A and B are shown apart, each in its own frame.
Chain A
Amino acid sequence: MGLNKMKTIYFDNGATTKVDDKVIKEMHRFHSEQYGNASSIHHMGEKALKALEKSRKAIASSIKAKPNEIIFTSGGTESNNFALKGIAFASKGGKNHIITTKIEHDCVLNTCKWLEKQGFKITYLDVDKQGFVTPEMLDKAITGNTLLVSIIHGNNEIGTIQDLPALYRICKKHGAIFHTDACQSYTKTPLTSEMADMITLNAHKIHGPKGVGALYIKTGIKLVPLIHGGSHEKGLRAGTENIPAIAGFAAAVELAMHKKHVDYMENLRDYFIKEALKIPGTKLNGPTGKKRLCNNINISFRSIEGESITFSLDQAGICCSTGSACSSKSLEPSHVIMALVDDPERSHGSVRITISRFTKKQEVDFALKELKKAVKKLREISPLTPRGGKHVQ
């Protein structure tokens, strides 16, 4: 059966999501009717500016921040670059130590590696077996020279949700600025401006458009801009504001901010995990319960490799990923799972399934059936499968 005849089951919502129809409708209005430039002084400009500030207010209120603490960007990658480089360059000649973790998204890790070349000292914190950074670990690494601490809120691969308030307390105690990348966790777990000094947010993981995100910057924190030009976004991010995307972002947030969506995803997630772990030779990567992202499932399969599982599922119409989508075309075992435990077989054998509020139980049941078939077949091909094909848990 060709791919075009199959029903697509989209289980890669950690990579990106379907844009909600209501969001598209909202965006369409700002593309075709109210398409003015928010910097223009005529009535079309005025309307655009109003829409911009309304969106800013909505996003600010979603994390209990003030509207003037929200800066719109082109997405999570830009927000993370801006937070790290903006603080680093604002501190020229001052403190030069930055702490991050080994399980960050590449856009934080590679920004840190680049800052290292510019003379900054970077500490990459280890995590425990479930992916947590403990306050003790941070307390040990932090010094009076620590300028910034950047720790991912909800991990994109294994779904670990960090205890931000506890980590923020340590930062405050030592006078370091605390940033968190909340791209995966936003609207999926409690998040407020009281939990960090800077927070990265984005739209396309929550059924909003690609190419738009925001950085929350607490009043009083000074950053150097990455992009120079006009006086947009208080001079911190030049370029004509992408009003259709920003309005779409705000609409997406309002649609996503319901506890019922989180409860729904949590139930499906736990059902999937429970059923998948009945397959022998499997391990869940990351924590369980409220400390795990409500849409994230990450399981390792003994004796087989994640890419071939992913492609086997793809042939049944199911989209998922191995490790994070950004690294699935590289050969390295997932840096996140390797940070949990030095076990390359577990790391290579990991598959990430990320559901959404639109996921149906029938889709989960179909995927579980196909997953069992794929694992059985690939284990028949693998030389690592124990004789007789029996894996022990």
Chain B
Amino acid sequence: MYNEKIMERFKNPKHMGEIRNADAIGEVGNVRCGDIMKIYIKVKENTIADIKYKTYGCVAAIASSDFLCQLAKGKTLDEAVKITGKDVVKEMGGQVPAIKVHCSILAQDALKKAIENYRKKK
């Protein structure tokens, strides 16, 4: 069902966790649809200095969150806010089952929300 890149990352996630004093958090999804993503960001000089996540959901949801963090880390807020679900899928080896594409979009939305929350706070 999933490619090796996704399964390997699911087995060994690299960005999983919580940032205790995060500058902003973006949370999307709900229990009814079976996915919740919570993205924590730490911002320094308009750049994402650190990013972590906590995710409730399927393999694709967990892997999408992890690859999203990989993409966003080190990027400026303006760059990071432009990351799309398609970019996440590309990072995951370019292929996910059709019904799991929404997980990558959820990851995109969670990051957007975190950045939005950060900008609102400022």
Contact = CB atoms under 8 A, between A and B. Distances in A.
B59 A381 contact: no
A315 interface: yes
B contacts with A: majority SS: mixed
Interface stretch (B6-14, B71-79, B86-94, B111-119): B6-14
A344 interface: yes
B7 A382 contact: no
A308 interface: yes
Interface residues of A, number: 19
A305 B34 contact: yes
A331 interface: yes
Nearest to B34: A348
B97 A308 contact: no
A303 interface: yes
B99 A383 contact: no
B34 A344 contact: yes
A305 B10 CA distance: 13
Given A308-B57, A382-B56, A331 B33 contact: yes
Interface string B1-35: 11000010011010010000000000100011111
A180 B54 CA distance: 45
A382 B59 contact: no
A380 interface: yes
Contacts, number: 57
Contacts of A329: 1, 97, 99
Contact of B31 (A315, A331, A348): A348
A107 interface: no
Contact of A331 (B34, B37, B56): B34
A344 B7 contact: no
B62 interface: yes
Contacts of B11: 315
A390 B1 CA distance: 32
A351 B57 CA distance: 14
Most chain-B Cβ atoms within 10 A of its Cβ — which of A303, A315, A383?
Answer: A383
A330 interface: yes
Contacts of A333: 32, 34
A304 interface: yes
Contact of A381 (B2, B34, B54): B54
A100 B13 CA distance: 45
9 contacts: A305-B56, A308-B57, A308-B58, A311-B59, A315-B11, A344-B32, A381-B62, A383-B37, A383-B38
